[in-house]
């Protein structure tokens, strides 16, 4: 049995300076609307993304030859956790910065990198994720969207669903079947970069239960994709997707989605005469947050060392999303108030947002059951 590795790491001087820069930047911004600070990495604000780009905080870890910052994973960690803790609207560029860019760096062609990475870094090109389909959720290998080879490229037919902000993004990395399923269900899948302005693409918005409209269902009707927009090797899409998911599972967004509520609760409770029960709940969640930060930083450090800690990333996501889901449930019991859907500000609004958005926390990027399956494989059980 391989032991999970979470060797602690401390950030140094470079990170401390960067942290101060981000705090100074945030202090100079107008206050973020209270209705947008819970799960703020699902809040799309292209203008804000371009402000971050101007500071050099998109594509921070990418090589400078593609416009990247040439910084470390720990430096990027510091920037994104500062933004998330402040409830900054980072949703527009989030996917491109976190996973699409790194995927292109790992598997893309030189032309693709030169074409897309500098635009992402400038906040001019946002990416959507095209994985799930109406009948393929956790069972991703069962997707039906096809790409057929034709002269000079591929013809894509099918549909994708739950594609956040596809109506704002310019590009979508789309997983398609390029060969009929065989005994090896994971074979015969390929990834394509599809320009979302292309002829043959239609989109229907899907409103979620928290009242937001970032989801879409997106249809492809004979959409032509040139050969130059295949990522990596044809039919090797599954392994590439798994690598992509490893990048997206361990970051601080996996436990900070409801953090603003904790701060708001502390602000209220610190004025009050405390009951032991109240302190104990705050202490328990503080301890969980402390450990999650240590674990997530450790994974960032391992990514920096060139490792691919897939199991550890799954652990962070499962523990992290439990934390951010359970936090509003626990705080509602010690805050003497009720959640209000229409409150303009205050803890009533944050509670409402955190509770109504929380089901998605443990669904996006791999459900609890999928993550625990991955961890079980690491334990040698499957």
Residues contributing to the site for other proteins (CB under 8 A) = 1, 3-4, 6-13, 15-16, 19, 81, 85, 262-264, 266-267, 269-270, 274, 276, 278-284, 286-291, 293-295, 297-298, 312, 315, 318-319, 369, 371-373, 375-376, 378-382
By beta-carbon proximity to other proteins, the closer residue of 120 and 264 is: 264
Rounded CA-CA distance 246/371 in Å is 11
By beta-carbon proximity to other proteins, the closer residue of 2 and 182 is: 2
Rounded CA-CA distance 207/350 in Å is 20
CB 300 to other proteins: min, Å: 11
Active site residue 248: yes
Q: Note whether 191 and 241 are within 8 A (CB).
A: yes
Give the residue from 350, 356, 351, 267 showing the smallest Cα distance to 37: 350
By beta-carbon proximity to other proteins, the closer residue of 3 and 24 is: 3
CB 371 to other proteins: min, Å: 8
Q: Choosing from 15, 36, 82, 248, which is the catalytic residue? A: 248
Q: Where are the beta strands (DSSP E) in 43-145?
A: 127-130
By beta-carbon proximity to other proteins, the closer residue of 18 and 218 is: 18
Which run of H or E residues covers position 206? Answer: strand 201-206
Rounded CA-CA distance 138/78 in Å is 31
Q: Note whether 130 and 162 are within 8 A (CB).
A: no
CB 2 to other proteins: min, Å: 10
How crowded is the C-beta side of 320, counted as CA atoms within 13 Å?
31
CB 161 to other proteins: min, Å: 25
A 10 A CB-CB count for 51 gives 15
Give the residue from 177, 224, 171, 176 showing the smallest Cα distance to 200: 224
Rounded CA-CA distance 374/379 in Å is 9
Main-chain dihedrals φ then ψ at residue 278, nearest 5 degrees: -65, -50
Rounded CA-CA distance 316/337 in Å is 31
CB 261 to other proteins: min, Å: 12
Rounded CA-CA distance 157/133 in Å is 12
By beta-carbon proximity to other proteins, the closer residue of 109 and 294 is: 294
CB 57 to other proteins: min, Å: 17
Q: Note whether 330 and 285 are within 8 A (CB).
A: yes
By beta-carbon proximity to other proteins, the closer residue of 10 and 209 is: 10
Q: Which residues are catalytic?
A: 248
């Amino acid at each position: 049995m391989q032991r999970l590795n979470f060797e602690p790491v401390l950030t140094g001087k470079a990170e401390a300076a960067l942290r101060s820069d981000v705090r100074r930047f945030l202090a100079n911004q107008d206050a973020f609307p209270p209705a947008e600070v819970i799960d703020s990495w699902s809040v799309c604000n292209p203008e804000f993304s371009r402000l971050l780009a101007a500071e050099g905080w998109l594509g921070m870890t990418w090589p400078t030859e593609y416009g990247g910052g040439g910084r470390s994973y720990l430096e990027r960690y510091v920037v994104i956790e500062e933004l998330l803790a402040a409830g900054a609207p980072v949703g527009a560029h989030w996917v491109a910065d976190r996973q699409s860019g790194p995927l292109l760096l790992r598997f893309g062609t030189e032309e693709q990198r030169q074409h897309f990475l500098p635009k992402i870094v400038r906040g001019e090109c946002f990416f959507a994720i095209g994985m799930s389909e109406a009948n393929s959720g956790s069972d991703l290998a069962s997707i039906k969207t096809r790409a057929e080879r034709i002269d000079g490229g591929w013809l894509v037919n099918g549909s994708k669903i739950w594609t956040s902000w596809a109506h704002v993004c310019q590009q979508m990395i789309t997983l398609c079947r390029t060969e009929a399923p065989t005994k090896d269900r994971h074979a015969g899948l390929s990834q394509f970069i599809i320009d979302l302005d292309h002829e043959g693409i239609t989109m229907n918005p899907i409103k979620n239960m928290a009242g937001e409209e970032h989801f879409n269902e997106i249809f492809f009707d004979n959409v032509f994709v040139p050969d130059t927009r295949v990522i990596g090797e044809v039919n090797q899409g599954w392994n590439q997707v798994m690598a992509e998911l490893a990048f997206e599972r361990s970051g601080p967004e996996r436990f900070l989605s409801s953090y603003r509520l904790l701060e708001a609760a502390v602000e209220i409770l610190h004025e009050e005469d405390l009951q032991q029960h109240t302190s104990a709940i705050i202490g328990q969640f503080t301890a969980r947050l402390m450990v999650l930060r240590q674990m997530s930083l450790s994974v960032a450090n391992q990514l920096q060392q060139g490792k691919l800690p897939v199991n550890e990333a799954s652990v962070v996501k499962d523990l992290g999303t439990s934390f951010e889901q359970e936090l509003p449930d626990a705080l509602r019991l010690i805050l003497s108030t009720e959640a209000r859907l229409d409150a303009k500000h205050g803890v009533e609004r944050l509670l409402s947002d955190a509770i109504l958005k929380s089901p998605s926390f443990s669904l996006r990027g791999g459900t609890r059951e999928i993550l625990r399956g991955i961890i079980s494989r690491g334990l040698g059980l499957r």
